[in-house]
Amino acid sequence: MAMKQGLDIVLVRKSGPVRNLRFGSWFIGLIGLILLLLIAGLVAGGFLFYKQSRLLVDYGEQINLLMLRAERLEYLSQEQETRELLAEEALKAKAEAQAQKASAAEPTPTPSPQPPQEEDPTESEVIALSNISRQIEGGEMVVNYAITNKLDDGDRAEGYIMVVAHGQRRGKPWLESRPPMRLSALGRPINYRRATPFAIQRYRQLTARFSTADSKFDRLEFFIYSRRGQLLLTQTVLLDEDKQGQEAPEQATSAPQESSSEKRQPESGE
């Protein structure tokens, strides 16, 4: 007589009848199969998660490498364009000097009066520039500044802003912009839309970084344009070479104020 294999479970209570539960071998095999499938699923899921995480890490490293290469290429392109502009400026200055020498011997006609040229705006009713500071951190010059919305009707101030650093590089005149872009011989942006866009309700703090490894800067020039390309504000800040690593005070190109000593001078008698 064949014996049936299975699992018997006896339920015993303090009171009441004893119950006997019997599970056949097929039920135990089914439970084991389900457990094996769950374990296999967990192993496969963990392996797929590990592969996906490795792919994401590799993609992140490749993206960072591409960004570094793009920044390097943009920097090299800006350096080459700046050299070409400076070379063109030197050639123009040389040609002007030769023309002046040639015309020095000839009688110069009386020049006709020319209309006064429009000066760059040093103040704006839309935007204000403040809290300009400069610090040297490692091999970089960090320029911190803020822009403030001056509109009283609650509208946002929108436009583009850029910073141009003037100085010398390896003993030659040098200018550099942040964000990097192509500049004219006078240090003005050729395409203002390459500058940093902004849309502020009240106030915004910004930062620009310039490498000082082989460059020495003596002044900063800020340009703020409207969305349509109108020059809203220009401001120049002179850098004090003796205050490396300290904050540089604002020194705008507007008319200088009288000193306190000049204000206190008594009027001379007639």
12 pLDDT exceeds 80?
A: no
Residue 227 vs residue 96, higher pLDDT: 227
Task: State the average pLDDT over residues 102-129.
Answer: 68
**Nearest in space to 226 (alpha carbons), one of 259, 194, 182, 192:** 192
Q: What pLDDT sits at residue 250?
A: 45
Paired tokens of 148: 């403030």
Q: What pLDDT sits at residue 105?
A: 57
- Confirm if 6 and 22 have CB atoms less than 8 A apart: yes
Strand runs (DSSP E) across the chain, as ranges? 6-11, 19-24, 127-137, 140-149, 157-169, 172-178, 196-200, 203-211, 215-225, 231-238
3 pLDDT exceeds 60?
A: no
Residues 116-159 have pLDDT tens digits of 556 778 788 889 999 999 999 888 999 999 999 988 877 889 99
Task: State the average pLDDT over residues 243-249.
Answer: 45
Q: What percent of the chain has pLDDT over 90?
A: 29
**Nearest in space to 143 (alpha carbons), one of 131, 133, 155:** 133
How do beta strands 127-137 and 140-149 pair? antiparallel
* φ and ψ at residue 97, rounded to 5 degrees: -65, -40
Q: What pLDDT sits at residue 118?
A: 61
61 pLDDT exceeds 60?
A: yes
Q: What pLDDT sits at residue 254?
A: 38
Q: What pLDDT sits at residue 249?
A: 47
39 pLDDT exceeds 80?
A: yes
Q: What pLDDT sits at residue 197?
A: 92
Residue 114: which pLDDT band, with cuts at 50, 70 and 90?
A: low
Task: State the average pLDDT over residues 181-208.
Answer: 89
Q: Is 175 exposed, middle or buried (0-12, 13-18, 19+ CB in 10 A)?
A: buried
Q: What pLDDT sits at residue 184?
A: 86
Beta bridge partners of 177: 164
Task: State the average pLDDT over residues 18-28.
Answer: 73
270 pLDDT exceeds 70?
A: no
Its pTM stands at 0.50
